């Protein structure tokens, strides 16, 4: 899920309290302070502008692989 609100980080924090969904930040604010705040929401990716189609496709695949791996690990732990 990509969020397009004035304050993405605060919005992500609020949503994270009730839902377990992946966040991907697409941002022009790639400074260290912004990145540190974004890390608190456990994003699946933090992509800085400018980006291109290939960059987005690669990141989407990496995110999907990571999410599927996490789900499989949870399932295997529950079976034990």
CA distance 40 to 46: 12
CA distance 43 to 32: 15
Residue with tokens 């456990």: 42
In 3D space, the residue among 65, 66, 30 whose CA is nearest the CA of residue 50 turns out to be 30
Paired with 25 in beta bridges are 46
| 40-67 pLDDT tens trace | 998 888 998 898 999 999 988 998 898 8
Is residue 5 pLDDT above 60, yes or no? Answer: no
| 11-31 pLDDT tens trace | 888 888 888 888 888 888 889
């Amino acid at each position: 899920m990509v969020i397009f609100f004035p304050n993405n980080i605060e919005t992500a924090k609020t949503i994270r309290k009730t839902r377990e969904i992946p966040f991907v930040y697409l941002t022009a604010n790639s400074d260290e302070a912004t990145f540190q705040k974004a890390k608190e929401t456990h994003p699946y990716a933090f992509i800085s502008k400018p980006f291109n189609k290939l960059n987005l496709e690669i990141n989407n695949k990496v995110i999907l692989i990571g999410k599927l791996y996490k789900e499989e690990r949870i399932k295997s732990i529950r079976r034990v």
